[in-house]
Amino acid sequence: MYTAFIVGTAGSGKSFLTSTLVDYLRLNEINVNTLNMDPGVLRLPYAPDIDVRAYIDINELMNEFELGPNGGLVAAVDLITSQSEGILEEISDGSPDVLLVDTPGQMELFAFRSTGIIFANQIGGNRRVLVNLMDANLSQLNIISKSDLIENEQLEEVQDWIEDSFKFEDAINSYVTGERREMSTKMLQLVNEMQMLPETFPVSAKTNMNIDTLYGKMQFIWQGGEDFQVDDRVIR
pLDDT digits (tens, 9 = 90+) for 176-211: 888 888 888 888 887 777 666 667 888 999 999 999
Higher pLDDT, 196 or 116: 116
Query: What does the pLDDT read at residue 86?
Result: 95
Q: What is the DSSP letter of 177?
A: -
What's the mean pLDDT in 21-25? 96
Q: Taking Cα atoms as reference points, which of 121, 33, 118, 127 lies closest to residue 79?
A: 118
pLDDT at 136 exceeding the cut of 80: no
Torsion of CA 172, 112, 213, 45, to 10 degrees: -110
Query: What does the pLDDT read at residue 194?
Result: 66
What's the mean pLDDT in 206-235? 77
pLDDT at 17 exceeding the cut of 80: yes
One DSSP character per residue, 7-64 reads EESTTS-HHHHHHHHHHHHHHTT--EEEEE--TT----SS--SEEGGGT--HHHHHHH
